Chains A and B, each alone.
Chain A
């Protein structure tokens, strides 16, 4: 029996509930469409309704995961670690992105997509702190950072919106892969999957 294997299984069962990430990705895309005043989203109230609908979707997703995979309250240690990431790493990443592309005299003023870079780094850091990165996280969010860092973006305006689009698509793909990993590893008995799970 491997202690680390069991602790990893706990983190994966609690954190790889990827359908929440799909909703987050849809929210990012909705925000991008709203910024672009696309179709009915030129009205602010349509965006608000969209947000409410997406928020409403999280309830059946929560019920689905709780019924099938159970519920655990994170330990104080885990919550403290996530709080440190939010309070320290996220502001650092945002300041870094401003340093890269702001037009202030102190910045590098590079033609990069800071929205894509910032969101990619925030996801990489938060997943690394919460459960540990898997290959698909590195590929998807690392790819988001790399695409954003290519010096081909126009400054401001549409560039930031495209970053939101890319982040939304990345969240959806990553969420679906997280969900697949969760079901394969911890799926209910009798489905032919998940038989080799956990550390027992």
Chain B
């Protein structure tokens, strides 16, 4: 649920560092498999799996399980909603950063 504070919308689902890292990785590629996400974010298998379940339940990513060269492979991609929300979230963080650098006392 987004949280509003004087014009800043911080999406708690996305703001968690592990999930933000996953979504940012996925926003840089068309799609990626589980191993690529694990290596690039540095998350453990359990953590990554748990975050992906939450993101999939929220409709931010699609998770496709398939076989590649007879091995199970989990492929993940951002949904349109996920792409918009992670882009908006980074914009908000950038705005907060700019504001704090311009005048730290005006921060909520």
A interface list, Cβ under 8 A from B: 1, 3, 6-7, 9-11, 13-14, 63, 66-76, 78, 186, 188-189, 194-195, 197-200
Contacts and interface: CB of A to CB of B under 8 A. Distances in A.
Contacts of B43: 200
A68 B40 CA distance: 12
Interface string B41-79: 111100000000000000000000000110000000000
B40 A74 contact: no
Contact of A10 (B28, B31, B68): B28
Contacts of A63: 69
B80 interface: no
A66 B44 CA distance: 18
A186 B40 contact: yes
Contact of B38 (A14, A70, A75): A70
B96 interface: no
Contact of B40 (A3, A9, A76): A9
Interface footprint category on B: 20 to 34
Given A7-B28, A70-B37, 9 more contacts: A1-B17, A6-B28, A9-B25, A10-B40, A71-B33, A72-B32, A72-B33, A78-B29, A200-B43
Contact of B21 (A13, A69, A76, A198): A198
A70 B34 CA distance: 7
Given A10-B25, A189-B44, A200-B21, A75 B30 contact: yes
> Which of A13, A72, A74, A198 has the most CB atoms of chain B within a 10 A radius of its CB?
A72
A197 B43 CA distance: 10
Contacts of A194: 39, 42
